[in-house]
A and B are shown apart, each in its own frame.
Chain A
Amino acid sequence: MEKHFLADMMEGEGKPSFKAEPWYNPHGDCIVFKMVNEAFVAERVDELLTVYNSAVDGRAIGFQIKGVQAIIRKFGVDGSAILSEADAHGVKSISVAMLLLAAYEEGPQTMGRRKAYAWAMCQADKTISTDELQAA
C-alpha cells in the first residue's frame, strides 16, 4: 500500500495500539467510543447520538455523543452530582452514561432512540476527565 500521507509526521510516536476507551474530540465537541479496531459506518440516531456499525459484519461497535459542551452547560456540571465525580478540588470527571442520559432527554421518546441509547449506555460505564473536556 502507498505510504500514508501523515507517515512522516508520526515518526517517533511509537507503535500504534488500539485503545477501547471513550475520548473527547475538542474539534468536534464530541465524545467518541469505539470498542474494536474495525472500520464502521455511522448511523445517526438523532442530533446528539450516532451509533457506529462494523463494516465487517454490521454489529454496533461504538458511538459518538455530540454537543458535549452544550449538554454540560445545560445541566450545569460544576454543581451537579448527577453528571460528575467531584472532590474538594472540584469536578474531576464526567460520566459518559450520564451524558447519554442527558442527551436522551433532549429528544422524543421513540422506540428507535430508546433502543440506541440503551445499547450505548450499556457499553459506557466510563468517565472522562474534566481536564480532557476543553473545547478547541
Chain B
Amino acid sequence: MATDFACKTIDPSNPTGPKVDAIFPGDYTLRLYKYSPVDYENLRAAKYVLEHTERILFGVREFNQGGWCYTGRPAEWQVKEGVVAPFPDNVIFAVYLNPNMRVYECRPEYAADDDPRCPKDWQTRYRGLIWKSTS
C-alpha cells in the first residue's frame, strides 16, 4: 500500500515563515500510478510547483470551505505515454490542497490574460491571491 509523501512548501498562513509539509495522499498517488499513468508522471510537475511556487490563491471551493491553489510553471510535462514536451505558454500548472494541506488535485489550466501565473477567471473563482513570487 502506498504511503503519503510529504514535500516542503510555502506556508500559506505565513508565507515568509518556515516551510511546511504538503502531503500527497498515498491512496491518491496510487490511483494515478495504477490507472492513469500520464497523470502519475505529471505529479513531477506538481511537486515542482510546490517547491517553486509562483502564486498562492485561497478560498477555492464553494462547498468545501478553505483550501489553497498553488501555481507554477514546470519546464516540461508528459503529454502522452513516453512523450515529454515543453510546458505550453498559455497554461499554468495548478496544485490544489485542502485546509489540511493534503493535495487533492494537480492539473494544468488555461492561464489568465491579466496574470499568466494565475488560472483563468481567478478573480471570481477564488477569494483572493495571498502570495506571489517576486522573481
Contact = CB atoms under 8 A, between A and B. Distances in A.
Interface of A: 1-2, 4-6, 9-10, 13-14, 16-19, 21, 23, 25-30, 34, 37-44, 47, 52, 55-56, 64, 66-67, 69-70, 136
Nearest to B62: A47
Interface size grouping (class) on chain B: 35 or more
B29 A39 contact: no
Contacts of B36: 18-19, 34, 37
A56 B40 CA distance: 17
B73 to A, nearest CB: 13
A13 B78 contact: no
Interface of B: 2-3, 5, 24-31, 33-44, 47, 61-64, 77-81, 84-85, 88, 91, 94, 96, 98, 102-105, 107-110, 119-121, 125
Given A18-B35, A25-B105, A67-B62, A6 B2 contact: yes
Given A4-B41, A28-B96, 7 more contacts: A10-B2, A13-B33, A39-B77, A56-B79, A56-B80, A69-B63, A70-B63
Q: Which 4 A-B pairs have the closest CB atoms?
A: A28-B104, A27-B104, A19-B35, A67-B63
B80 A9 contact: no
Contact of A41 (B24, B33, B84, B110): B110
A9 B29 contact: yes
Contacts of A6: 2, 5, 24, 29, 33, 40, 43
